[in-house]
Structure 1
Amino acid sequence: MHQPTMGRRTFVKGSLAASALAALAACGKKGGSDTTATSGEATGGTLNYYINNPVSIDPYDAEEDQGMQVCYQLFDALMTYDFEKGELKGLAAESYKANDAADEFTFTLVKGAKFHDGTTVTSKSFKQAWERICNPKTSETTPSNISYHLSMVEGYSEMAKGEATELKGVTCPDDDTLVVKLIQPYADFPFVCMHPALSPVPDAALKDFDTFFFAPVGNGAFKMDGKWEDGQQINLVRFDDYSYGDKAKIDGIHFNIQKDVQTAYTEFQAGNIDVAQVPTAQIKDAISQYGESGDGFTITPGKQVLTGAELSTYYIICNLGNEQMQDLDLRKALSLAINRQAICDTVFEGTREPAGGIIPPGIAGYQENTWEYVKYDKDAATQLLDAKYPMGADGTRGISVKLSFNLDGDHKSIMEMVMADWKAVGITVEAVNNDWATTLKDYKAGNFQMGRLAWIADYPIQDNFIYPLFSTEGDNNYGKYSNKDVDDAILKARATLDEKERQAAFQEIDKKVGAEMPVIPLFYYKHQLVGSSKVKKLYMDPQKLCDMSEVELSA
């Protein structure tokens, strides 16, 4: 789930205007890349892009970044986010307005937009798409794991329980107007509507689930060429009747499915793939060979390795249901004892940034080093421990902790450095290792003391790091942190229409949570991708999504 390259969360920044009405021009441009052509007219061509075999390319279950990249090309949601300008913009919606209570939103759609099958995108297309996600009877074999995006829409609970067949809070006064009523105020709801999972679907999606799942019909700049060949490839071609902007500059995309990052990178080096992920151990060599992107997000010839910041944080959760972990001074000491910079330099060759809190750079309202105890200070850690757990003659303090983590990827190397830092201050650590599925099951059941996790934002807002992780009812609050003052403050902040006031409110909530250390942030993620010299221009946004309609290739 929440591990990058297989996480169900994705992310961003921004907010509602201070007034109750926010007018937005539909720009038909995702992510915020500079669309100025590097050399006149586009030359066409096919982009050969590596992905691992996805979970889904259908919005119905758009939950991890491999399938999300495909879905992002096939479908356009109501909203998009321009990272360079820091603006939320309309995409399939040309404008929207919110009521003064921030619990009802009216979206006006771009008129006459078409699906790939030639049918018209209407407000009904969104309503049936959202209900398709929420209805537990949509598929007998493939459950949707992403309906939580709509959990605040009126009627969601009844649909999720199978007690209703429609979302009561979603209405369509006419073909070009979509009205959404929430069960509580949430000023940031338009950001939710930028998620690919909430894209519209045509009537065809309701007729044959399996056919649509492997060959989705969307409203995006590219359409399917054949169907998803499981474990092998996915081919897309330009959709010439694209409705939300200029048609794609390239002819198509070949998603080359490989079993792992190393295999894909070897294929890239052989000239068989245009864009691939770089294995961590080879990042410095890749930069030396292919050059590093100037801004970290844009591939151009000679500057082909991307290292820009992503909106994701790697951290350790503390189970506050465990008596030992209820000791705040112990949690502070455990955090202070960790040398985060050494982890970033040793494991990731400097391609990660030590965390100073749970909210990463790039989120609107981000502030540096907001959590006082998220830094390396071995002496301070020792002083906190000495006061309660004096060091014994054997070099230990008579306390031990259990640390759960899965062994795939770089997790073993990261956790070994954490355990060594803890041992250096006299704490005995026992590693608890299982596969990811079992580890996650243990987290949900509360069957752990401490454990590693990562969070990729669904949307670029502070709330998406605060509410799911730290509200008492948060669906990913595995450590069972609960503070009524924090809960009340979150609800108040969510109902605040003014953007600056809302950001300031969440900043104060963030500091309050940080003072209680329910989790121990370690580092923020960065891009680790490379493009071939064939790629004249490609922009990968901080959500690790690329608007491939703007990609330019050499002839």
Structure 2
Amino acid sequence: MRTHTTFSRGAVAVSAAAALTLTACGGNGDTGDGEAAADGGTVSAYNCEPQFLVPGNSTEVCGSWVLENLFTGLTQVDYDTMEAGPGVAESWETDDNVTWTFELGEDWTFHNGEPITAQTFVDTFNWVVDPDNAQQNESFHNKFVGYDEVAAGDAEEMEGVRALDDHTLELELTEPFSPLPMMLSYTGFYPLPEEAYEDIDAFEQAPIGNGRYQMDGEWVHDEEIAVERFEDWAGEDPGLPQRIEWKIYADIDTAYMDVQAGNLDIMDTVPPHLRPNMEADFGDNQHTFDTSSFTYMGFPLYQEEFQDPDVRHALSMAIDRQEIIDTIHNGAFTPASNIIPPMLPEAREDACEYCDFDPEAAADLYEEADGPTDVTVYFNSGAGHEEWVEAITNQWQQHLGVENVSFESLDFAQYLDLHDNEEVTGPYRLGWVLSYPSPQYAMEPIYTTGVSSNYARYSNEEFDDLIDQANGALEEDEAAELYQQAEDILLEDMPVMPLWFQNFGVVHSENIDGDSVLMDPRTFLRVEQLVVTED
């Protein structure tokens, strides 16, 4: 039986901070003589305009970052161990990874005082899946028994989501799934109060959550989202700042200059063209963090010229990833030699045999496999991909004898339509970031047979079986080994070429203690842990 019992979150928060600091690529300096503000102080942080502020509908980082502080799910991520820790649920257990029982804490309420019970989660999960509500995160619930019926509009409630009593929630899955507690930390599983169902559009302007922070006023679109610490939060690691003000910028360069001028406390996404200036501009008040943000170039395996794995191997081996990172990205990336992101415990260095730059071997392999001399490369426009995509094709022309290269660049919506309709005829650029830190999420949603994001149309029965076995494993060590075996198959078959993982540059003012600046693998700055100083 797998169980998880309550433990002290306060102690974990300290050790998690230490662990994440060690993963930083840049120095973490403190601010000198300032002492921590007695009441926690106020942090102003850069953000972009969210698409949505409803948990079931938020799939991008700008909104999800805010929602993570406004809400607490059944579980939270323990970034010390990269495992799921208690949230609203104090403990959970399962005998088979199919039927799970979650025991909820009795002191949890929403910011308006409404108690949170097991029925709260039953109502929320069913509302998110209900097609009438058109929530983007509804598919994350597809492992629950009864999902298909509710998603199709044929039933109102999922049979596998049950409140046994006020503080006991039972979740029954269609198949074994060991990462369930980790998945439940994701934004799309946050609970909603009754008020949300009355007018979801009005609710979105000032969400009522159950997290460390509560809204102070409404979302001022394109300007600001302000929150205050919720003093009655039932968790054991409350937010440190008294107030967080997300300042919404349309221009990221302006945000950078505002941090320099002291008009903004911190920004977490220094663009590549400013990365070389960080140390000169900010000294010790700048940091670099590894993340799970993964860029790859995939192959349309439904096209005959890319069906031979050796063609794909050769194209990968002909790319000098480090040279492109140094000359075009100003060092803002780490060459990828794996699919499982390097900060996860299951990651292995140099797992990818065909990711090393070896132009001579690549040329021989490409010739033997009769690789195509004419190649069309696809990428989404308006996101700064033009220069590095061209650099890759230049290396292919130089090392492989590719004679003619053409480019197809479309806006993202049209770009995905091409993939959906199998109209891509050559290598294509896409990316992936972990919604929750699990090797399962690094692979299953994009490489298993038939899933919607598997744009390569890759299918390998052995790979699928290993993912299923890992998902059903009752022991973590067994699951880790199975996920690694699945990754080995993926890297050998190479339906996609790993390119790089993005490093995020963070800069801040003298108002922030540099030792408290942390970023998690999903690219979220841990704003709730920032220490504000006062002279």
Q: Which TM-score applies when normalising by structure 2? A: 0.92
Give unmatched runs, 5+ long, in structure 1: 1-18, 292-301, 390-396
**Are 1:21 and 2:21 an aligned pair?**
no
Q: Which is further off, 250-259 or 29-38?
A: 29-38
Residue 71 of structure 1 is matched in structure 2 by 67
**More displaced, 425-434 or 541-550?**
541-550
State the match for 2:26 in structure 1.
Answer: none
Determine whether 1:552 maps to 2:531.
Answer: yes
Asked whether 1:460 is paired with 2:460, we answer no
* Partner residue in 2 for 1:524: 501
Following superposition, the deviation at residue 268 of structure 1 comes to 2.2
In the TM superposition, what are the counterparts of 1:20-39 in structure 2 within 5 Å?
Answer: 20-25=2-7, 27=9, 32-33=16-17
Amino acid in structure 2 at the alignment position of 1:281: H
> 1:470 aligns to what?
447
Native 8 Å contact 1:43 1:553 kept in 2: no
Shift of the 338–429 alpha-carbon distance from structure 1 to 2, 3 Å rule, reads: same
Partners of 2:225 and 2:175 lie apart in 1 by 40
For residues 253 and 191 of structure 2, the distance between their equivalents in structure 1, rounded to whole angstroms, comes to: 36
1:111-510 to 2 correspondences below 5 Å: 111-138=106-133, 143-276=134-267, 277-291=269-283, 302=284, 304-389=285-370, 399-424=373-398, 425-427=400-402, 428-448=404-424, 449-510=426-487
| Secondary structure of residue in 2 paired with 1:137 | helix
Deviations 1:248-305 (A, max 9, x none): 33221111111132232232223221112212111121123323xxxxxxxxxx3x22
* Alpha-carbon shift at residue 414 of structure 1 (Å): 1.5
More helix, by proportion? 2
Tell me which amino acid in the other structure corresponds to 2:3.
L
Deviation at 1:39, TM superposition (A): 5.0
- The answer for unaligned runs of 5 or more in structure 2 is 22-29
SS in 1 for 2:120: helix
The offset of 1:526, in angstroms, is 1.4
- Mapped to 1, the partners of 2:363 and 2:397 lie a distance apart of 11
Kept after mapping to 1: 8 A contact 2:37/2:533: no
Q: Secondary structure at the match of 2:391?
A: helix
CA deviation digits over 1:141-175, x for unaligned, max 9? xx311112111011111111111111211111111
Distance 1:377 1:24 in 2: 51
Q: CA deviation at 1:65?
A: 0.7
Is the deviation greater in 63-72 or in 267-276?
A: 267-276
How far does residue 34 in structure 1 lie from its aligned partner after superposition? 5.3
Q: What's the % identity of the aligned pairs? A: 30
| Shift in alpha-carbon separation, 1:247–1:269, aligned structure 2, 3 A | same
Q: How many residues align?
A: 514
CA displacement at 1:79 relative to structure 2: 1.2
1:26·1:94 contact (CA, 8 Å) conserved in 2? no
Residue 72 of structure 1 and its aligned partner are, at CA, apart by: 0.8
Q: Is the 8 A contact 1:95 1:108 kept in 2?
A: yes
Deviation at 1:407, TM superposition (A): 2.9
Aligned to 1:61: 57
Equivalent in the alignment of 1:84: 80
Aligned position for 2:27: none
For 1:206, the aligned partner's letter is Y
Structure 2 residue identity aligned to 1:136:
P
Relative to 1, partners in 2 of residues 1:260 and 1:132: Cα closer, same or farther, differing over 3 Å?
Answer: farther
The alpha-carbon deviation at position 437 of structure 1 amounts to 1.5
1:518, CA displacement in angstroms?
0.5
Q: Is the 8 A contact 2:306 2:312 kept in 1?
A: yes
2:521 aligned partner = 542
Alignment check: 8 A CA contact 1:313 1:359 kept: no
Could you tell me how far 1:398 is from its partner in structure 2? 6.5
Code of the aligned partner of 2:116: V
Question: Is the Cα contact below 8 Å between 1:48 and 1:256 reproduced in 2?
Answer: yes
Letter in structure 2 aligned against 1:506: Y
